[in-house]
Amino acid sequence: MLNRNHHKHLDFVKIVYSKQLINGKLELIPLELYADGTLKRSR
């Protein structure tokens, strides 16, 4: 389970992906999904 300083009290659920068009190419951006529904860009 991944913990980040400001999400320490929240339960990490899973990694989800967002599609973004960058320089004419479609790329998947990994995001961390937390139990309260917040998303944070994964490193």
Contact indicator for 10, 3 with CB cutoff of 8 Å: no
pTM: 0.64
Structural domain of 11: 5-41
pLDDT higher than 80, residue 6: no
Q: What is the pLDDT of residues 10-42, one digit of tens each?
A: 798 899 999 999 999 999 999 999 999 999 998
Tokens of 35: 């139990």
pLDDT higher than 70, residue 5: no
Domain count, the chain: 1
Task: Determine the pLDDT at residue 4.
Answer: 54
What's the rounded Cα separation, in Å, for the pair 23 and 13? 31
- Size of the chain in residues: 43
